[in-house]
Amino acid sequence: MTRALLVVDTQKSFLRRETWRASSNPDVADDVAALVAHARGRGDHVVWVLHTEPGTGNAFDPALGFVELMDGLTAEEGEPVLRKTVHSAFGGTDLQRLLNGWGVSELAVCGIRTEQCCETTTRAASDLGYDVTFVVDATATEPIQAPGSPAGRPLEEILADPRTLGTEEVVTRTVYALSGRFARIATVADVVDVD
């Protein structure tokens, strides 16, 4: 059985956002690094994905220099680094072609943000027929403002708003939505202790 670890958007862009101070997992790069080391150790493929928003002038605009892996994470020779402009790592990239070419049937997903690009990629992978493990504690997210909230509010105001979804609620919702439908939910320890 051929497996791959998909590392989604674990990039410095997020560190530029004020809301990252309220991240569910500020040490996500360490958790991802543990998964990467484990995957490499057992000969699994590792695929890196970076989110880009060219021409926007924000932290995801490649021209600003933040669309690169977080410190402690490095793609080794032969590990693809794909760039996407949509939520799913399959959208506008050659990810599916790569996985099919390698004969991958099992995928593990980790990265940023739990409910956004990681969850969307997991759902897409499941629909494409992959057996997916969502490594929840190797993901991270930020608080989500209520629909219609004013843009540009300071973090303290976002956190004080009772309508804001806290990171624990966001992660729990993703686990409920994915578990048994699109993926098996696991922790880093679950994955690393399997072998």
The candidate with the shortest Cα–Cα distance to 33, out of 65, 84, 60, 70, is: 70
Say how far apart CA 154 and CA 19 lie, in whole Å. Answer: 9
Q: From the candidates 67, 117, 118, 124, give the one annotated as an active-site residue.
A: 117
Reported in sequence order, the residue ranges of 28-182 that DSSP labels E, i.e. its strands, are 45-51, 81-84, 104-112, 131-140
Reported in sequence order, the residue ranges of 29-149 that DSSP labels E, i.e. its strands, are 45-51, 81-84, 104-112, 131-140
Active site residue 110: no
State the catalytic residues. 117
